[in-house]
Amino acid sequence: MGGSRARTGVVVVLLTVASHRPELHASRELASIPFRGDGTMQLTRGPAGQTASTKTDGAEKRGQSRKVSKPLPPPLALAVTLLGWFGDDIPQFELAVERPPDATPTAEAWVRYNGDGSAVPIVYVATDSNVYRNAPKDYQSLVKLAGILAHERWHLRHGPDEVAAYDTQLSTMTYLHASSANLAEVRRSLNWVQQRAKNRAR
């Protein structure tokens, strides 16, 4: 539901439901497009196929790089707007065309963690999920995406606690009038992580 989520325009992001796994930490580079927290995509011009190159032309002599800012894609922009996020509310997003090796096949969004347990300040969003694709044309898909993004942003700010992240997701989706089916899906995931936490505490 995990998964994060413009400052001067429209933006949105999402997190995944039952498929979310908080321990995701890809060991290889994801094919993705980086987005800044201000709701724009930040690219540094460089060789073809690279989105984060340090190559510059004459600007390099001035200690500057040539950058191009683009708005968030419609699914994220709509979700962020629905959530009412702006400024520092909006996390940095990256669109991923493939999932980390340790992610479930249906993961819709995720965050990764450093060795010390802190979250890498990026919400990764899968572009091939139905919820992402349908968000611009279906309100319930948009609400689900918004809930996922709220879930993932919680991880960025507070850590890997899944119970609290699902609570946030559930309250967000309830406020946005999610369907009973979508709420039931999140509740099932919440119940599962709650039971897992109880079992570990024994």
pLDDT of residue 7: 35
pTM here? 0.69
pLDDT tens for the chain, 202 residues long, are: 554 333 333 333 333 333 333 333 332 223 334 444 445 443 322 332 223 322 334 444 444 444 455 789 999 999 999 999 999 999 999 999 999 998 889 999 999 999 998 999 999 999 999 999 999 999 999 999 999 999 999 999 999 999 999 999 999 999 999 999 999 999 999 999 999 999 988 8
Cis check: omega of the bond before 5, within 30 degrees of 0: yes
End-to-end CA distance of the chain: 27
Q: How far apart are CA 27 and CA 4, in angstroms?
A: 20
pLDDT of residue 1: 57
Query: Is residue 107 a contact partner of residue 24, using CB atoms and an 8 Å limit?
Result: yes
pLDDT of residue 134: 98
| Beta-strand pair 122-126/92-96 | parallel
Alpha-carbon distance values, 157 to 28, 111, 120 (Å): 24, 11, 10
pLDDT of residue 83: 98
Q: How far apart are CA 189 and CA 147, in angstroms?
A: 13
Name every residue whose Cβ is closer than 8 Å to that of residue 90 and which is 6 or more positions away in sequence.
Answer: 5, 6, 7, 11, 37, 38, 39, 80
Number of other CB atoms surrounding residue 152 within 10 Å: 35
pLDDT of residue 104: 86
